[in-house]
Amino acid sequence: MDNSMDDVWGSDSDIEIRKDDEEQLRSYDLRKLREIHAKRGYLDGIVSSKETNLQQGFNAGFPTGAQLGFQVGKIIGVLQGLKYKYGDEDEELKRDYELAKRELLISALLSKSIFTESFDLPNGHAAVDKWTDIVDKYSNKYNVIKN
Amino acid sequence: MSAMDFDELLNLEEQYYQEGFKEGQEQNLENNFLEGKQFGLQVGFQRFVLLGHMLGLCDFLESLNMASTNLTKNIATIRELIEGIDMSNDEEEVENLEKTIVKLKNKFRTILLLFQRQMKQAKKKPLTFDDIEDLSRVIGGEIKGFVEDEETTDAKTAQDQAQDW
């Protein structure tokens, strides 16, 4: 937000400073005037129509979230089943299951830092990809066929 | 002071105000969109994690070759139901999803009973539907505490799950 505030009243190019003192004073006054009224406008603008666009944003994010949740569910489902059945004799599987339960929490996966500024994932999701590979490994080991 | 009459000044004030207003409004729309998008990501995730979870468990259960036509049939039904789900957030779809989830849960409970019966012979503590649903809700951040068995209750896990959502 700081940057855009600068844009509003930090601009200076369109007011010509003349040699004449009076002109200089005038351009200073103009800048002041602009600062005051543009700021007033900005503040009114930023609280205007508060809810607009929330729904559009929601609809844009929902399918990506759904896809991620679905994938994560499949990962955790296979792991939970395998761990239940073979966990007693497969230490690595047991450990990975515990780790998955931590690394696949929504709070970790949807952390702001993983996304671009506009909340996109142009290169997929690293943690989900990693766990998909791990589950593939166990699926091969225990003959789980992915459908 | 040189010529700037009152009207001119007022016009200028209005012009500056409008410039600022437009900038503020655009910023507001952008903020709202992103706020909504972030929330949509979260809700989408939460709504679909259990579906994937059941599907993953179906894959696992099939690998056990339990030789039950009932089980095979029910798993096929579950796959079909899930395939029919659209991941958009249309009003109609949301309503559909609610109905489908109820059906899915019932089918899945039936499958789980068959599995539990087999596990009973192996003298294992049964894997219950509550275990499964709870895990989904922990992953989706809807509940924080989670006790499946002794080794998941260590402090580290509890701390991780205490994140604010």
| Lowest pLDDT segment from A20-24, B60-64, B85-89 | A20-24
**Residue B1 maps to a domain:** no
Chain A partners within 8 Å of B53 (Cβ) = 73-74, 76-77, 80
Residue B99 and residue B53 in one domain: yes
Q: What is the mean pLDDT of residues B34-56?
A: 96
Q: What is the mean pLDDT of residues B36-44?
A: 95
Name the E strands within B29-119. Answer: none
Residue B41 and residue B51 in one domain: yes
Confidence of residue A118 (pLDDT cuts 50, 70, 90): very high
Q: What's the per-residue H, E or C state across chain A?
A: CHHHHHHHHCCCCCCCCCCCHHHHHHHHHHHHHHHHHHHHHHHHHHCCCCCCCHHHHHHHHHHHHHHHHHHHHHHHHHHHHHHHHHCCCCHHHHHHHHHHHHHCCHHHHCCHHHCCCCCCCCCCCHHHHHHHHHHHHHHHHCCCCCC
Residue B107 and residue B157 in one domain: no
Q: What is the mean pLDDT of residues B17-43?
A: 94
Confidence of residue B91 (pLDDT cuts 50, 70, 90): confident
pLDDT (0 to 100) of residue B130:
94
Confidence of residue A23 (pLDDT cuts 50, 70, 90): confident
Residue B33 and residue B97 in one domain: yes
Residue B139 and residue B67 in one domain: no
Asked whether the beta carbons of residue A33 and residue B16 sit closer than 8 angstroms, the reply is: yes
Residue B105 and residue B162 in one domain: no
Residue B69 and residue B30 in one domain: yes
Asked whether the beta carbons of residue B33 and residue A80 sit closer than 8 angstroms, the reply is: no
Which one has a higher pLDDT value, B44 or B121?
A: B44
Residue B54 and residue B121 in one domain: yes
State how far the Cα of A66 lies from the Cα of A75, in Å rounded to an integer: 14
Number of domains in chain B: 2
pLDDT (0 to 100) of residue A1:
44
Q: What is the mean pLDDT of residues B17-25?
A: 94
The domain ranges of chain A are: 2-46, 62-141
pLDDT (0 to 100) of residue B165:
42
Is ipTM over 0.85? no
For residue A140, the tally of other CB atoms under 10 A from its CB is 9
Torsion of CA B121, B125, B127, B131, to 10 degrees: 170
**Hey, is the C-beta of A99 within 8 angstroms of any chain B C-beta?**
no
Residue B122 and residue B52 in one domain: yes
Q: Which site among B32, B37, B121 would you substitute to test the A interface, given the most A Cβ atoms closer than 10 Å to its Cβ?
A: B37
Confidence of residue B163 (pLDDT cuts 50, 70, 90): very low
Structural domain span for residue B119: 6-127
Residue B47 and residue B57 in one domain: yes
Please give the residue of chain A at the shortest CA–CA distance from B23: A42
Residue B78 and residue B132 in one domain: no
CA distance B100 to chain A (A): 15
Residue B24 and residue B82 in one domain: yes
Window 22-81 of B: residues touching A by CB (8 A cutoff) are: 22-64, 79
Q: What is the mean pLDDT of residues B82-91?
A: 86
State how far the Cα of A138 lies from the Cα of A125, in Å rounded to an integer: 20
Asked whether the beta carbons of residue B41 and residue A61 sit closer than 8 angstroms, the reply is: yes
Is pLDDT above 70 for A8?
A: no
Q: Decide: A75 and B48 in contact? Cβ < 8 Å.
A: no
**Residue B155 maps to a domain:** yes
